[in-house]
A and B are shown apart, each in its own frame.
Chain A
Amino acid sequence: MFKKGHILISLCLLLMCCLLLGCTKTDSKKEENSSDIQKEDVTDEKNITDNQELSDNEKDNTKQPDEDESEVTFELLENYKERNIPSVYTEDNNKEQYRNVILNENNEIEYYTYSEESDGYSIWKYTLIEEEKSASWKREEVSWLNGLQGKISGGRIVPFRGEDLNNYAVYIDNMEKAHVIKQREDSFTEILGLDIRQTDYRQVAVLKNGNIVSADLGRECFVYKQEDGSLLTSFRSGWYESLCVEENQIYITDQTGSSVQHYDAEKQEFKTTIEADFKTDVRIAIDKDDIYVCTKNGIYRAKQDGKEFQKVLDSGTYHFAKDSGVLLKFFVIGDAFYVVYGEDNGAIKKYSPAKEDDITTKSLTIYSMKSNDVILDMISEFQNKYPDTEIIYETGEGSEASVTAADRIRTLNARILAGDGPDILVLDGLPTESYIKKGILADLNPVLGDLKEELLPSILSAYTVEDKIYMLPSRFSIPMFLTSGQNPEVYASLKSFVEYSEAEGGVLPEGYSYFDFLQILYYNYPPEIIEKDKTVNKEKLKEFLSLTKRLCESEQAVEKTNWFVTYLEGRGMDIPFAKGDVDFGFINIKGGYGLATYPHAVELRNGELVANKDIFFPETLLGINALSKNEEQISAFIQFAFSYEIQERYIGSSGYQIYTKVLDEFANEDLSYLLSGDSTTVLRSANQKENEQMIEIVKKAYTPFMVDESIWQIIEEESIGYLKGNRELTESVDAIASRIQLYLYEQ
């Protein structure tokens, strides 16, 4: 007992000591921190007072090697507004083409374009003049480049400003050789001896000491001497677009593209790499002592000699959040960020703190299962047009990647039932049939009004149920067969196609995985496995799986796909098809530009592009939450989403628009001047006639192919094992049938 009491007292004492020590430590830490702050203040004062007394060397010595400025914490910027900078292109100059955008020595944005004249190319410079509430461009000809007009090939010239404050340009001549020239009053001189690689994909800059920096697709950065063009040094780097120079410092991503390396070209040494975890395209800008990076995920900031980037602006619904967005340039001026995008021939958007008159009074919530570029684009444009409406864009992805689609739907349903659901739903992947049955979706007819006259009748009728339209796709794609003169019988059914493939020893491109084949065949030859009495037809399922396996064997399916994008995302195979390496193709044409060089490729193979019946794959299906009270904003957004203004916008490979006029306009486009290919095969894009023919097919499509995600997931999970040969057919079929049957029983 005595012993126990002693132990108890000792333990209590120990606990109290620990507590006290802990407290003192925290206090001392706080003191350390506060003393640090005080020290900084004192140091600053000392620096000011003793500035003249200290020599440069002494100053250097006062800076401790461990003094880490990267530890400075940057505030996350909030309430930033995205604004469109007016386009430089008007009706008078809409033939001009984007060339470059730079920041001049007065921190003004200079926008360069070229126009094709009878005697060659003229280069134009536009200087942005920003006022309190408006912005305009001052246009002038870049006269010092006039002597170059006839020498430039294909308008490939990039004017830029050197850090030595001279004007430069890099151009490709008619002999496909790259030249760097420097302004000399009203003319120019060429930097001789330079042997930079001839490539259209290159970034060139000039340092303060006049040396030339060049980076290209080879992911290597070169520094040349201006005097004789000799190579001073080179080092491995990330993609060329990330190159940014200031005075004699070079900033470019490292080989992984995830961090920014800092090369001091004056001392010819690497400084500390500024760490980050960038996974997408990176554009770098410098402002004062800080380095900024713009990526799809947001804008990051670090001290120039810092060690780590910190996010200062989240991408949210900003334009640069789009997967398909092309970031061209990025600048920082004061507290504003400017991003130049590849869309609209080089559009500029400004991100700056919201002003008093920017305060939003209305709000609208949009939900999609996954981040959607078309929606992001709509939101960006809508907010420019309706600055008083704040749009909250929610995606089901959340922070946990492991969350399943069903979990997301459950969360959404709970919100909808609680009356807290989003106003507008992007229905891709959502149980649309059940939503319509349960009255979750409102009729779009009253909202669309007269706009319906402008939309494709075939698509409207495909979504009209008892005179009501509960959902409508903003875009859609067309599944097609790429043939090289085969008899249509060959691809009319899955069985005949598999037999053909087996007879030919493989006709499709190499590197397709088991999943690829399953997906392609399921989408192109959907098996009718569900009977009218809601039972699973095992025989049809067996036939579909065994034919898929036969195709996998004849086409030599691989474990992991060699393709960057899936069939549904619109993978391309024009070059191998044109060359004859591939005899047949399943393609998903995702919009006007998605047709690309396929018509020329089939022409070379004496084949044709054949639509798969009248099927189309809907994309960005929009619907309205019937329980929402936000009718005014909903109506404005839906009308905006299906307006000509938005429908005519080209957003990556997002599909064909449903606005008839947009399609008609595209039918008149002649894109045959656009060439692509390799050293042996060059293909032209579709000409006017081919575009017209394709638009005819597009207009005829009227059967939406909607995959029941639950059924598709079960088939995918249970089939791959069989296709790979790890499972018996009957076992797979039984498992699929049993699981699908459960799903059907639930209905």
Chain B
Amino acid sequence: MERKTQKVKSLQKQKRKFRKELLFLLPSVIGVIIFYFIPFCDVLLRSFRPEFGGGFAGFDNYKAVLENKAFKIAVKNTLKFVVIYIPILLIFSLFLAVLLDYLREKQKIYKKIFLLPMAIPVASLVLIWKVFFGEFGLINRILSCFHVIGPDYFHTSFAFLVLGITYLWRNFGYDMLLWKTGIDAVDADLYEAAALDGAGFVKRFWYITLPQLKEMGFVIIIISVINSFKVFREAYLIGGDYPNQSIYMLQHLFNNWFVQLELGKLTAAAIMLACVIIFFVACIERILTPKEG
């Protein structure tokens, strides 16, 4: 009998605790519902409506998007960007984080220096690039001394390289910091034990550091992918609404569709993108999260 009352009491306590927690969560839950969930539902509904008037359009908008050549180019470029530059960024920032781990004394100053690019406004950064690579930039002026007419680099396929370098330059410091936090969290006893067993630097890195960094790696990949979408700002400042095809991203297309009020296509493409990102995140999580048991 006593046990039963104790159980009931603890259940009631848990319920009260849950209610309290819910109360604290409520503002943010309401915010998420109003500002994310409802608009997302609206977008989802619109994606199934015809361009003109009401009714149900089925998958017409999705079909139109998938057949759209601009969408294909934008997807190709966005994927190309993610596939090329995210691995480079991850590897490079991890390399720097490991290197920094060995520079114990001067770590702090290097961390600050590497984070500096994040503090530089995109507009000024693009301006600097234009000074160098613009049609009348420094490079072309030097070339003109040798009677060579240089191209407007931002309107050639070179723009993709400029965009990639900008992305790497801006983000490697931040990613490095995240990797470093992961490395710092690795139990030092593991390294000591491995060293006693005769493991060298490479083996320690491969068998201890890397497996311990899986969870952090998941976070870094997600952040890097999100940041790769932000590179649109640079692309827009370099080439405007219609840049060179090599740096034409999905955001260009979405922006331009909004100008043309192509809401059906726009919402369908947004839903597809959301699905791809969710699928991508799920895959990465599955790969990187350690299996229990």
Docked-complex contact A738 and B244, CB < 8 angstroms: yes
Q: Which residues of B contact A (CB under 8 A)?
A: 51-53, 68-70, 73, 135-136, 140, 149, 151-152, 155-156, 240-245, 248, 253, 255-263
Docked-complex contact B52 and A438, CB < 8 angstroms: yes
Kindly identify, within residues 400 to 426 of chain A, every residue whose CB is under 8 Å from any CB belonging to chain B.
Answer: 404, 406, 409-410, 413-414, 417
Separation in Å of the A8 CB from the closest CB of chain B? 21
Is A532 interfacial (CB-CB < 8 Å)?
Answer: no
Is A739 interfacial (CB-CB < 8 Å)?
Answer: yes
Surface stretch bound by B, among A34-42, A54-62, A583-591, A723-731? A723-731
In the bound complex, residues from chain B placing their C-beta under 8 Å from that of A726 are 135-136, 140, 149
Residue of B nearest to A711 (CB): B242
In the bound complex, residues from chain A placing their C-beta under 8 Å from that of B259 are 406, 409-410, 413, 431, 434
In the bound complex, residues from chain A placing their C-beta under 8 Å from that of B52 are 437-439
Is A435 interfacial (CB-CB < 8 Å)?
Answer: yes
Instruction: Choose from B135, B243, B263 the contact partner of A727 (Cβ within 8 Å).
Output: B135
Report the separation of the CA atoms of residues A435 and B258 in the bound assembly, to the nearest whole angstrom: 12
In the bound complex, residues from chain A placing their C-beta under 8 Å from that of B257 are 746
Is A536 interfacial (CB-CB < 8 Å)?
Answer: no
Given the contacts A406-B255, A735-B155, A742 and B149 also touching, CB distance less than 8 Å: no
Report the separation of the CA atoms of residues A747 and B260 in the bound assembly, to the nearest whole angstrom: 8
Given the contacts A404-B240, A431-B259, A439-B53, A746 and B149 also touching, CB distance less than 8 Å: no
Sample of 12 further A-B pairs with CB below 8 A, known A713-B240, A742-B73, A747-B260: A410-B255, A417-B261, A434-B259, A438-B263, A717-B240, A721-B135, A727-B149, A735-B155, A735-B156, A738-B245, A739-B242, A746-B256
In the bound complex, residues from chain B placing their C-beta under 8 Å from that of A741 are 245
In the bound complex, residues from chain A placing their C-beta under 8 Å from that of B243 are 739
Separation in Å of the A528 CB from the closest CB of chain B? 20
Report the separation of the CA atoms of residues A745 and B72 in the bound assembly, to the nearest whole angstrom: 10
Docked-complex contact A434 and B152, CB < 8 angstroms: no
Is A714 interfacial (CB-CB < 8 Å)?
Answer: yes
Docked-complex contact B53 and A742, CB < 8 angstroms: no
Separation in Å of the B96 CB from the closest CB of chain A? 32
Residue of B nearest to A718 (CB): B155
Docked-complex contact A746 and B155, CB < 8 angstroms: no
Is A743 interfacial (CB-CB < 8 Å)?
Answer: yes
In the bound complex, residues from chain A placing their C-beta under 8 Å from that of B256 are 406, 743, 746
In the bound complex, residues from chain A placing their C-beta under 8 Å from that of B242 are 710, 714, 739-740, 742-743
Report the separation of the CA atoms of residues A741 and B73 in the bound assembly, to the nearest whole angstrom: 11
In the bound complex, residues from chain B placing their C-beta under 8 Å from that of A557 are none
Separation in Å of the B263 CB from the closest CB of chain A? 8
Instruction: Choose from B135, B140, B258 the contact partner of A410 (Cβ within 8 Å).
Output: B258
Separation in Å of the B64 CB from the closest CB of chain A? 11
Docked-complex contact B151 and A731, CB < 8 angstroms: yes
Given the contacts A438-B51, A735-B244, A727 and B260 also touching, CB distance less than 8 Å: no
Residue of B nearest to A717 (CB): B240
Report the separation of the CA atoms of residues A543 and B243 in the bound assembly, to the nearest whole angstrom: 23
Interface centre among A404, A727, A739, A742 (most CB of B within 10 A): A742
Closest 6 CB pairs of A and B: A745-B70, A745-B69, A739-B242, A746-B70, A438-B261, A434-B260
Can you list 7 A-B pairs with a CB-CB distance of less than 8 A? Answer: A406-B259, A435-B261, A437-B51, A439-B52, A727-B135, A735-B244, A739-B243
Docked-complex contact A746 and B245, CB < 8 angstroms: no
In the bound complex, residues from chain A placing their C-beta under 8 Å from that of B70 are 742, 745-746
Residue of B nearest to A434 (CB): B260
Docked-complex contact A727 and B258, CB < 8 angstroms: no
Report the separation of the CA atoms of residues A727 and B149 in the bound assembly, to the nearest whole angstrom: 6
In the bound complex, residues from chain B placing their C-beta under 8 Å from that of A417 are 261, 263
Separation in Å of the A410 CB from the closest CB of chain B? 6
Interface centre among B51, B69, B73, B261 (most CB of A within 10 A): B261
Is A440 interfacial (CB-CB < 8 Å)?
Answer: yes
Given the contacts A727-B149, A742-B70, A710 and B258 also touching, CB distance less than 8 Å: no
Question: B-facing mask of A430-463, CB < 8 A → 1, else 0?
Answer: 0100110111100000000000000000000000
In the bound complex, residues from chain B placing their C-beta under 8 Å from that of A731 are 151-152
In the bound complex, residues from chain A placing their C-beta under 8 Å from that of B258 are 410, 413-414
Report the separation of the CA atoms of residues A410 and B252 in the bound assembly, to the nearest whole angstrom: 13
Separation in Å of the B47 CB from the closest CB of chain A? 15
Residue of A nearest to B243 (CB): A739
Separation in Å of the B264 CB from the closest CB of chain A? 10
Residue of A nearest to B253 (CB): A746
Report the separation of the CA atoms of residues A431 and B241 in the bound assembly, to the nearest whole angstrom: 15
Residue of B nearest to A725 (CB): B149
In the bound complex, residues from chain A placing their C-beta under 8 Å from that of B149 are 726-728
Residue of B nearest to A739 (CB): B242
Report the separation of the CA atoms of residues A728 and B152 in the bound assembly, to the nearest whole angstrom: 11
In the bound complex, residues from chain B placing their C-beta under 8 Å from that of A409 are 259
Docked-complex contact A735 and B51, CB < 8 angstroms: no
Residue of B nearest to A402 (CB): B123
Separation in Å of the B107 CB from the closest CB of chain A? 21
Residue of B nearest to A433 (CB): B260
Docked-complex contact B73 and A745, CB < 8 angstroms: yes
Docked-complex contact B261 and A413, CB < 8 angstroms: yes
Separation in Å of the B123 CB from the closest CB of chain A? 9
In the bound complex, residues from chain B placing their C-beta under 8 Å from that of A743 are 242, 256
Residue of B nearest to A534 (CB): B69
Report the separation of the CA atoms of residues A513 and B243 in the bound assembly, to the nearest whole angstrom: 26
Separation in Å of the A241 CB from the closest CB of chain B? 42
Docked-complex contact B241 and A710, CB < 8 angstroms: yes
Residue of A nearest to B69 (CB): A745
Separation in Å of the B245 CB from the closest CB of chain A? 5
In the bound complex, residues from chain A placing their C-beta under 8 Å from that of B69 are 745
Report the separation of the CA atoms of residues A506 and B244 in the bound assembly, to the nearest whole angstrom: 36
Separation in Å of the A545 CB from the closest CB of chain B? 15
Question: B-facing mask of A381-411, CB < 8 A → 1, else 0?
Answer: 0000000000000000000000010100110
Docked-complex contact A727 and B151, CB < 8 angstroms: yes
Separation in Å of the B80 CB from the closest CB of chain A? 16
Report the separation of the CA atoms of residues A666 and B51 in the bound assembly, to the nearest whole angstrom: 46
In the bound complex, residues from chain A placing their C-beta under 8 Å from that of B245 are 738-739, 741-742
Separation in Å of the A129 CB from the closest CB of chain B? 55
Given the contacts A721-B135, A727-B151, A728-B149, A746 and B244 also touching, CB distance less than 8 Å: no
Report the separation of the CA atoms of residues A406 and B259 in the bound assembly, to the nearest whole angstrom: 7
In the bound complex, residues from chain A placing their C-beta under 8 Å from that of B248 are 742
Docked-complex contact B135 and A434, CB < 8 angstroms: no
Report the separation of the CA atoms of residues A413 and B261 in the bound assembly, to the nearest whole angstrom: 7
Report the separation of the CA atoms of residues A124 and B69 in the bound assembly, to the nearest whole angstrom: 73
Report the separation of the CA atoms of residues A746 and B242 in the bound assembly, to the nearest whole angstrom: 10
In the bound complex, residues from chain B placing their C-beta under 8 Å from that of A713 are 240
Separation in Å of the B182 CB from the closest CB of chain A? 30
Instruction: Choose from B152, B241, B260, B261 the contact partner of A735 (Cβ within 8 Å).
Output: B152
Separation in Å of the B25 CB from the closest CB of chain A? 29
Report the separation of the CA atoms of residues A404 and B239 in the bound assembly, to the nearest whole angstrom: 13
Instruction: Choose from B136, B140, B244, B261 the contact partner of A434 (Cβ within 8 Å).
Output: B261
